[in-house]
A and B are shown apart, each in its own frame.
Chain A
Amino acid sequence: RKEVEQDPGPFNVPEGATVAFNCTYSNSASQSFFWYRQDCRKEPKLLMSVYSSGNEDGRFTAQLNRASQYISLLIRDSKLSDSATYLCVAKTGTASKLTFGTGTRLQVTL
């Protein structure tokens, strides 16, 4: 079983829609979580950290459920420019190692 699992998608949604991605992690010792965004043929970029209390950044909301070991990302009012692959990331242990999920692809259409 992969340490961080995501539905690969693609999720095809119209502009303006709300879309949510889930991600599950297998190691209960994982301490910190992040969402990264990767555009086609580009490098990953940090989108947001995920806090236990949930956090929001504009149209993006991230939630963490430690009991069920999943993380979610909600995107409201989708824009064409949101089309990308969203990578769920977990940090486990004291080392500086991040474990990346394989990503969920989002395609926003007109």
Chain B
Amino acid sequence: DTAVSQTPKYLVTQMGNDKSIKCEQNLGHDTMYWYKQDSKKFLKIMFSYNNKELIINETVPNRFSPKSPDKAHLNLHINSLELGDSAVYFCASSQNDRAPGTQYFGPGTRLLVL
């Protein structure tokens, strides 16, 4: 009964491929997030959705497209993968967008682009 789950945990792929990462939370939260943590361990917000609506869209290449089919799910699709996309991608959720300080993170997806 993991609170925030992500699949897959590991993803190794070639440059130019398209891949998706899925995230699900069973906490009943309204707000979900995608973060990227690079090799220097810097954790940076990419996107946030509140009740399936996009509310944060940081300066992310448009090769990255989030999709929220319902408020419990937030998936991330990446087109034309590049070497620089190699990182750990974390999904997170918070009760709502007014109290974002308490976020619950998924275990991360380690993406390696060769």
CB distance from B40 to the nearest CB of A (A): 7
Q: Does A57 contact B (CB under 8 A)?
A: no
Write the nearest CB–CB distance from B23 to chain A, whole angstroms: 12
Chain A residues close to B by CB (< 8 Å): 32, 34, 42-46, 49, 85, 87, 89, 91, 95-100, 102-103
Residues of B within 8 A of A44 (CB): 43, 90, 105
Chain A contact residues: over half helix, strand or loop, or mixed?
A: strand
Total interface residues in chain B, CB < 8 Å: 25
Chain B residues contacting A103 (CB-CB under 8 Å) are 41
- Asked if B41 and A96 make an inter-chain contact with CB atoms under 8 angstroms apart, the answer reads no
The interface residues of chain A lying within 8 Å CB-to-CB of B101 are 32, 34, 46, 49, 89, 91, 98
Residues of chain B touching chain A, judged by Cβ–Cβ distance below 8 Å, are 31, 33, 40-45, 48, 50, 55-56, 58, 90, 94, 97-98, 100-103, 105-108
Chain A: minimal CB distance from B24 (Å): 15
Knowing A42-B107, A43-B107, A85-B41, the reply to whether A98 touches B100 (Cβ < 8 A) is: yes
Residues in B with CB closer than 8 Å to A97 are 45, 48, 56, 58, 100
CB–CB B103/A46 < 8 A: yes
